[in-house]
Structure formats: structure tokens, C-alpha cells
A and B are shown apart, each in its own frame.
Chain A
């Protein structure tokens, strides 16, 4: 019985990873087309040569992204694609958690929650 459940979880996890990457690629590609249409002929000069540190909270970042998408800003649509990509492994962890709950595997429920907690620290801006 446990074996069947294990393979079901494996299929679900595999699908989460696969569709997450597909969705992210599709969104980034659409954003890329808008970005190149609006900014394609601008000069790059030294845009990426000097790093400028920012200090946005993740939720401010998300709010700005959604505002930009409403105005069809290519860069913000690409950012949404990147967010989908970054969130995909986290959704995978949540699926693993559901699997361990179904199997009533207490040890691994705790282990998975610890990993989610550390990702939560990262979302909150890390330790710095």
C-alpha cells in the first residue's frame, strides 16, 4: 500500500516541476517579446556593468510586478516568469509535505516543515 502512495507522490512531484518550468518559460517569453518591442533599440551601454543594491521586501516586489503587468511592461512580465520559476521548488516541497501527511510519517512531516521554515526566512529577506 505504502509503495503505491510513494509512486503517486513521485508522479505529482514530477508534474509540479515540469509544469512549473513550462509556465515560467511561457510567461518569460511573452514578457521578453514586450520588452524587446519597447526597449530593443535602446543602447545597453553599461547597464549591467555596475551593481546597484536594492532593498525591496518580497511583497513590495510582487506588488510592483503586478502593477507593471497591468501596463504590459515587458520587464515586469519577465519578473513574474522568474517568480513562477523560483516558487516551483517550494510548491514541490509543499507537495512532499502533503505526501508525508497522507503516509502519516511524523518524522518527515517535521523535516519538511523545517525546510519550509528556512525558505520562509529567505522570503522574509534572509538574515541580513
Chain B
């Protein structure tokens, strides 16, 4: 295979990763890794570096729209980025020592967890009261709806902050956006409305990934020959996915891809235990 064919193959793989990522709500980064390693034989380190770069591209692209709409809670994002960036830098330290097989196994389990989590039903809840810490940090805010702005309170800042550190470590170690863990921290622990949680998670992803990307750039994880087709492909795929989602709610397609992702995850865990990475 020559470079031209390889680039084209990676490009179309990335388009489907972006598409599947936006249809399942898992994000493109988490799918590009099994695609590159399991299907194209790319080393896990390069796959992680490439995924991290694509996470920055997709999250910046979509965060731009949400921020302008005023749904994103910028103060909460900024404050919790302390936790995710510290976590991300720690993640790169762990990555330097952790054996690749172990990283692949952990990745497989995170992928399965994310897949199951995306099928869970989410209810929009708005609660008005806030904890003292949240008020002191000026975290409570409001978000626009058709019926006018809805004010919400925030609780358990410490718990959310801890969970965000975990999300940051996983992001730095595995090259993913770890949006699912960020949403759990805000939605389940801090009781932030779901819409605000998802958009703020997206907003934070770029900075979190940047904190580890600078380290990975210097260690040689980020290969231009892989990143170029992947970043462009994932962005196109994500845009196509968003268009499909507006037109229909592809439940069957979603379920089908969840099964595909589950199989890829099991494959990574199996290969990890057999020391194939």
C-alpha cells in the first residue's frame, strides 16, 4: 500500500468515525482509536496522539455554536478545567510508564462503559438551591429556553471536581475527550441541568485535550501523516452526523453502531490480554 492509498483509507475511516461518534453521542476520538489500531495496525501511541488532536477539532467546532447561544456555563467550565487539566497532565505521566497492553485493556472497558452510558435515558432536571461553595464560586446561572431563561442551582462542588480529575486523567492517558465522565460529574453529581452539562463538557474538552497534547507533541505521539486525514475526516463525519440527527432519530442505526463499538472494545481487551499492543 502506498501513502496515497493509506491516506485515503484513513480519511474514509475518520469520516465514518466522526459520523458514528456524532450519531451515538460518543464523540469521534473514542472511535478513531480502535479503528486505527484494530483495523489499520497503527501503534497505540500514534492512535492516542491522533485521537487527541481530533478531539480538539470536533469539540472546538461544536463548542463555538453552543457558547454563542449562551447555554454553556463558562465560569463552571473554567473552574472545573483546573481539575481536568491537572488530571490530563497526570495522565501523560502515567502514559509514560503504563504498558501499552494495560492502556488498551483500560480503553476497552472505558469504551464499553461509554457505550452503555449513552443508551441510558436522561431526564432534564432543574433544581433551584445551591451549596455554599457553589454560590461562593458564582457557579449557579441560567440558560435560555423558548419560554425564557431558566435559573438553576448547583450542588456538591467537591464531588464534581474529583470526578473531573478522573475525567482529565482518562483523557490524557487514552487520548479521548471523556465527555461521558464530564457529564456524569456535572449532571449526576453537581445536579446541573443536562443541556448545560453536555455543552459545558464540550466546551472544556478542548482545553483538557490541549493540556496533554503539548506533552504528546514533544514525545512524538502526533504524526502529521495520520493527523491530517483524521482531523479533516472526523470533522466532515461529525457534520454529516449532525445533519442526519436533525432530520431523524436513527434509533436502529444507533443500536447497530453500539454493537459494533462493543465488538471493537472486546477485541481491544482481548488483544491487550494477549500482549498484542
Contacts and interface: CB of A to CB of B under 8 A. Distances in A.
Interface of A: 7, 9-11, 13-15, 17-18, 20-21, 24-25, 28-29, 31-32, 35-36, 39-44, 46-58, 61, 74-76, 78-79, 81-83, 85-90, 92-93, 96, 105, 107-108, 111-112, 114-115, 118-119, 121-123, 125-128
A83 B264 CA distance: 30
Interface string B44-57: 11100000010011
Contacts of B218: 54-58, 61, 125-126
Interface SS of chain B: helix, strand, loop or mixed?
helix
Contacts of B82: 111, 114-115, 118
A126 B215 contact: yes
- In this complex, the member of A51, A52, A90, A119 whose beta carbon has the largest number of chain B beta carbons within 10 angstroms is A51
B29 interface: no
A98 B214 CA distance: 23
Contacts of B228: 28-29, 31-32, 35, 78, 81
B60 interface: yes
A18 to B, nearest CB: 4
Contacts of B217: 58, 61, 82-83, 86
A123 B216 CA distance: 10
B219 A115 contact: no
Interface of B: 1-7, 41-46, 53, 56-57, 60-61, 63-65, 67-68, 70, 72, 74-75, 78-79, 81-82, 85-86, 88-90, 92-93, 96, 137-138, 206-207, 209-215, 217-229, 231-232, 235
A40 B2 contact: yes
A127 B89 contact: yes
B226 A53 contact: no
Contacts of B79: 108, 111
A32 B86 contact: no
Contacts of A111: 78-79, 82
B64 to A, nearest CB: 4
